[in-house]
Amino acid sequence: MPASIQPATVRSQPSRGVSFGQLLNIPNVLTLCRLVSIPIFLALLNKNHFTAALYLFTASALTDALDGSLARWFNWRTELGALLDPFADKLLLLSAFVALTFDDAIPGWLLGVVVIRDIVIVFGYFMLSFFSSERIPVRPSYLGKAATCFQLACVIGALARLGSIWSHGWYALLYATVAVNALSGLHYSYRGLVWLNSHEPEMFE
């Protein structure tokens, strides 16, 4: 009788998914640390430990610059980091602005400008994504980066004033922050309208 033919052993293909270790690279760990620092920062403000809150916020702001640089230099970019990093930034800044506004350290009109700008940008992004049915890449403009830097400077300046460390040029910083944030919101709106106009034929086919 003919020898029985054994079925060939099928080798399992290696998984191409992203491992847990790849997700928890150094930039993502720094972003998670920034998220964890938010309730600690708010607790320090609640206890009037303004100097400690200043140091913690400054360290968190530095991790924002560090994680982005590491992700670019060592090609450690991940989808998780692309989503988590801007979320952590906005949550940290908005938490600080709201808390400091309630402490009368930052005027309410500045908080209003910052919140309205963010609402316009987020709402505009989702509207463009809805009409185009595609994921639009997020590319911060130079004005957008400058607006974030001025917001960080305002929070640090407000904490320094509360801790009696610095007070000179405060109102100049406030007005400059309002101007840059307003210009940034207008610039993002203009970019969105230009993009929408270039995709209008596809949208209404």
Which residue ranges form the domains of the chain, and what is each CATH number? Answer: 21-203 (1.20.120.1760)
What DSSP state is assigned to residue 138?
P
* pLDDT averaged over every residue in the chain: 79
* Whether residue 45 has pLDDT greater than 50: yes
The pLDDT, as a whole number, for residue 137 is 63
* Whether residue 1 has pLDDT greater than 50: no
Distances (CA, A) of 116 to 26, 94, 122, 123, 181: 33, 12, 10, 10, 10
- Residue 149 CA to residue 62 CA, distance in Å, equals 11
Amino acid at 51: T
Amino acid at 15: S
The pLDDT, as a whole number, for residue 56 is 95
The H-assigned helical ranges of 47-169 are: 50-73, 79-102, 108-132, 142-162
Candidate from 10-19, 53-62, 120-129, 145-154 with smallest mean pLDDT: 10-19
Distances (CA, A) of 164 to 95, 160, 170: 22, 6, 13
Structure tokens that stand for 187 in this block: 């610039």
Amino acid at 114: V
The pLDDT, as a whole number, for residue 2 is 45
